[in-house]
Amino acid sequence: MSGEAIIVEYRWPPLSRKAHLFPVRGAQSLCRAWLFTGARCDTQGRLEAKGPDDCSMCHRRAVKAGYLLKVEA
Protein backbone atom coordinates (compact mmCIF):
# COMPACT_ATOMS: atom_id res chain seq x y z
CA MET A 1 0.00 0.00 0.00
CA SER A 2 2.93 2.35 0.38
CA GLY A 3 3.19 2.77 -3.41
CA GLU A 4 -0.46 3.77 -3.91
CA ALA A 5 -1.30 7.33 -4.84
CA ILE A 6 -3.59 9.28 -2.55
CA ILE A 7 -6.80 9.99 -4.45
CA VAL A 8 -8.52 12.32 -1.94
CA GLU A 9 -7.32 14.58 0.84
CA TYR A 10 -8.87 16.77 3.52
CA ARG A 11 -8.90 20.52 2.99
CA TRP A 12 -10.48 23.16 5.19
CA PRO A 13 -12.05 26.05 3.22
CA PRO A 14 -11.83 29.32 5.21
CA LEU A 15 -15.58 29.83 5.73
CA SER A 16 -16.43 26.17 6.31
CA ARG A 17 -17.21 24.71 9.73
CA LYS A 18 -16.02 21.25 8.63
CA ALA A 19 -13.06 19.77 6.79
CA HIS A 20 -14.02 18.42 3.37
CA LEU A 21 -12.56 15.74 1.11
CA PHE A 22 -11.26 16.95 -2.25
CA PRO A 23 -9.69 15.03 -5.12
CA VAL A 24 -5.93 15.65 -5.16
CA ARG A 25 -6.12 17.45 -8.50
CA GLY A 26 -9.64 18.82 -8.10
CA ALA A 27 -11.22 21.95 -6.74
CA GLN A 28 -14.74 20.70 -5.88
CA SER A 29 -15.42 18.79 -2.67
CA LEU A 30 -16.99 15.33 -2.81
CA CYS A 31 -20.17 16.73 -1.24
CA ARG A 32 -20.19 19.34 -4.05
CA ALA A 33 -20.74 22.18 -1.59
CA TRP A 34 -17.29 23.78 -1.80
CA LEU A 35 -14.79 24.96 -4.40
CA PHE A 36 -11.32 25.35 -2.92
CA THR A 37 -7.81 25.13 -4.31
CA GLY A 38 -5.86 25.75 -1.10
CA ALA A 39 -3.37 23.52 0.63
CA ARG A 40 -4.29 20.19 2.17
CA CYS A 41 -5.09 20.00 5.86
CA ASP A 42 -2.49 18.10 7.92
CA THR A 43 -4.40 18.37 11.20
CA GLN A 44 -7.20 16.01 10.19
CA GLY A 45 -5.18 12.86 10.65
CA ARG A 46 -6.24 9.57 9.10
CA LEU A 47 -8.54 9.23 6.13
CA GLU A 48 -10.02 5.89 7.24
CA ALA A 49 -11.88 7.09 10.32
CA LYS A 50 -14.28 10.04 10.22
CA GLY A 51 -13.60 12.60 12.90
CA PRO A 52 -16.00 15.11 14.50
CA ASP A 53 -14.69 17.95 12.30
CA ASP A 54 -15.09 16.07 9.01
CA CYS A 55 -17.96 16.48 6.55
CA SER A 56 -20.26 13.47 6.79
CA MET A 57 -21.44 13.68 3.18
CA CYS A 58 -17.87 13.80 1.84
CA HIS A 59 -16.95 10.79 3.95
CA ARG A 60 -20.00 8.76 2.85
CA ARG A 61 -19.37 9.50 -0.83
CA ALA A 62 -15.67 8.60 -0.51
CA VAL A 63 -16.53 5.26 1.11
CA LYS A 64 -19.19 4.53 -1.52
CA ALA A 65 -16.79 5.36 -4.37
CA GLY A 66 -14.11 3.16 -2.85
CA TYR A 67 -11.65 5.95 -2.06
CA LEU A 68 -11.76 5.09 1.66
CA LEU A 69 -12.19 1.85 3.54
CA LYS A 70 -15.20 1.66 5.84
CA VAL A 71 -14.04 1.22 9.42
CA GLU A 72 -16.38 -0.52 11.84
CA ALA A 73 -16.48 1.17 15.26
Q: Say which residue, 44 or 5, is predicted with more confidence.
A: 44
The pLDDT tens digits of the residues spanning 36-56 come to 988 887 777 667 778 889 999
List Cα–Cα distances, 3 to 6, 10, 27, 42, 59, in angstroms: 9, 20, 24, 20, 23
Q: What are phi and psi of 44, to 5 degrees?
A: -80, -20
How high does pLDDT run on average in the chain? 82
